[in-house]
Chains A and B, each alone.
Chain A
Amino acid sequence: MSNKVGEQTIIFKNKPKIIGNFSVVGEKEGHGPFKDYFHHILEDDLFGESSFEHAERKMLEYAISSSIEKAKLNINKIDLIVGGDLLNQIISTSFTARHFDRPFLGIYGACSTMAESLAVGATFVDGEYFKNVVCATGTHFSTAERQYRFPLELGNQRPPTSQWTVTGAGSSVLSLNSNGHSITYATLGKVTDYGINDVNNMGAAMAPSAMSTLISHFQDTKTTPDDYDLIVTGDLGKLGSEILMDLMEHNGYKLGKNYNDCGQMIFNNNQKTFQGGSGCGCSASVLNSYILKKMDEGVFKKVLFAATGALLSTLSTQQGDTIPGICHAVVIERDERVGRK
């Protein structure tokens, strides 16, 4: 009996549950539309540390340990931590993991890391290899800026297609025990490249990968966009989401009002981010705050969470390569026992 359906999708028959979740965001994100949903908002982007890299680690550490607390577990009960981030050699996550003294699996899927870690974590839990698995990721605006772009104080102008890397981290604890919304399917994406080489237009570079994964998902699971209360992409931004909607329509799938994008949702229009947010922390913090809370309330019953990532590096850009994208999707279904307090 195979747990694979169609080409790229796996089904989790035991329904691993998200039994604890936590989100931390920076000050700017804390002024956005989800300020009442985030668990913790930093007052200072350095989080009391000496560098932004250290602050990113501290955010991750805080998110992971708080999500474990929310799951009413202690760290010794965690069998595995799965996660990644954007910094070279994923230092933020692996350096954070050394504090926990638990098995760690570092992954890199650029900004698709939240969905990727949930898919990997859910597989371990569903197969009953591990009982409790933590899935976490995070980014920091200032660390991403200096790695991919320019120094913070440089007086340059950002182009209108650019996005703003979210300062934030999110963590979810998966387990078969206890109550929580369950992960029922995961569709693993293919690396897709439609020949975009503008690093300031990530939305356009990643939209084809989102299209590819969504179409495969609908075909594999024999569902349509209307079967979901929310279909949410990771960080395509406003322009990228419009492109995705066009691409999907071109392929015979109409994304309607139930479609949105975390990058588009996380900032207000007056926050001058142009196309919206990006980064691992974008989809991670929105999922672990707004989306799961709305599922608690029963507003969303079935969510298709498709985080998107641009798999470039500064080196590939300098050598003139185009930007490949990837998108992984997981289906989260509401647990009716949650949120009826």
Chain B
Amino acid sequence: MKKEKHISRNEQYNIYVESKIPKTKSFPTLIWAFLVGGLICMIGQGISDGLMALFPNMGQEEASAWVSVILIFIASLLTGLGWYDRIGVFAGAGSIVPITGFSNSITSPAVEFKKEGIIFGLCVKMFTVAGPVIVCGLVISFLTGLIYLIF
């Protein structure tokens, strides 16, 4: 009996708090995410087109691989310089979702935990943020491959 009352007080409080919480303004957030995300993709496309124009023997697939490498490098560099998080503040998903966000999520803990040593700091903590993404990615692609194999 007493426990029931306890729960209802907390539930009541949670409902009340939920009503007080300021909401993220979705319109400007969406616009910024679209603009920055789009810009990153445009840069990627530009690199791809540029590479293929410079090296006529390069195929689409090879060019795409180079685009990933270059974008990852740029994002890593910007993270190291301390600029990528400033873009993230207003871009939100726009700078998290593209491959540059993935690069940032690996570089930022690497930079942060460097002080605890190369092995136990940098190497161990490097995947604290990106780890789940990698694990889920691997598991899902394995399962997809399995389904593909069976059917």
Interface assignment of B146: CB less than 8 Å from any CB of chain A: no
Cβ contacts B67-94/A at 8 Å (1 or 0 each): 0000000000001101011111101100
Q: Kindly identify, within residues 106 to 122 of chain B, every residue whose CB is under 8 Å from any CB belonging to chain A.
A: 107-109, 111-113, 115
A92 within 8 A of B: no
Q: Which residues of A contact B92 (CB under 8 A)?
A: 157
A95 interface contact, C-beta 8 A: no
Q: A154-B129, A239-B20 are in contact. Are A195 and B115 (CB under 8 A)?
A: no
Most buried by B among A150, A151, A246: A151
Q: Is the CB of B24 within 8 A of A160?
A: yes
Q: Which residues of B contact A (CB under 8 A)?
A: 7, 9-11, 13-14, 16-17, 20-24, 79-80, 82, 84-89, 91-92, 95-96, 101, 104-105, 107-109, 111-113, 115, 128-129
With a CB–CB cut-off of 8 A, which chain B residues contact A194? 9-10, 13-14
Interface residues on A, range: 20 to 34
> A51 to chain B: which residues have CB within 8 Å?
115
* Distance A67 CA – B82 CA, assembled complex (angstroms): 35
* A195 nearest in chain B by CB position: B10
Proximity bits, A153-183, B CB within 8 Å = 1, else 0:
1111111110000000000000000000000
Pull 13 A–B residue pairs with CB atoms less than 8 Å apart, ordered by A: A151-B108, A152-B85, A153-B82, A154-B88, A155-B86, A157-B88, A160-B22, A160-B24, A194-B10, A195-B7, A195-B10, A196-B14, A196-B17
Q: Which chain B residue shows the least CB distance to A205? A: B17
Q: Assuming the A-B contacts A154-B104, A156-B96, are A195 and B13 also in contact, with contact meaning beta carbons closer than 8 angstroms in the complex? A: yes
CB within 8 Å for A154 and B85 given contacts A239-B21, A243-B17: yes
Contact with B along A129-163 (1 / 0, CB 8 A): 00000000000000000100011111111111100
Instruction: Determine the main DSSP class of A at the interface with B.
Output: loop
Q: A154-B105, A156-B96 are in contact. Are A201 and B17 (CB under 8 A)?
A: yes
Q: Which residues of chain A are near B96, meaning CB under 8 Å?
A: 155-156
A55 to chain B, nearest CB (A): 12
For B129, give its contact among A50, A151, A161 (CB under 8 Å): A151
Cβ-based interface call for A26 (8 A): no
Q: How far is the CA of A152 from the CA of B111 in the complex (A)?
A: 9
Report the separation of the CA atoms of residues A196 and B80 in the bound assembly, to the nearest whole angstrom: 36
Closest A residue to B25 using CB positions? A160
Which residues from 307 to 339 on chain A have a C-beta closer than 8 Å to any C-beta of chain B?
322
Contact between B108 and A154 (Cβ–Cβ < 8 Å)? yes
The 8 closest A-B pairs by CB, nearest first: A155-B88, A195-B10, A151-B112, A153-B108, A151-B108, A154-B108, A194-B13, A204-B17
* Contact call B87/A155, Cβ cutoff below 8 A: yes
Tell me the nearest residue of chain B to A161, going by C-beta. Answer: B21
| CB of A27 closer than 8 Å to a CB of B | no
Bound: A51/B9 CA distance, A: 44
Of the residues B10, B24, B85, B88, contact of A159 by C-beta under 8 Å: B24
- Interface residue? A229 (CB, 8 A): no
Across-interface contacts of B115 in A (CB, < 8 A): 50-51
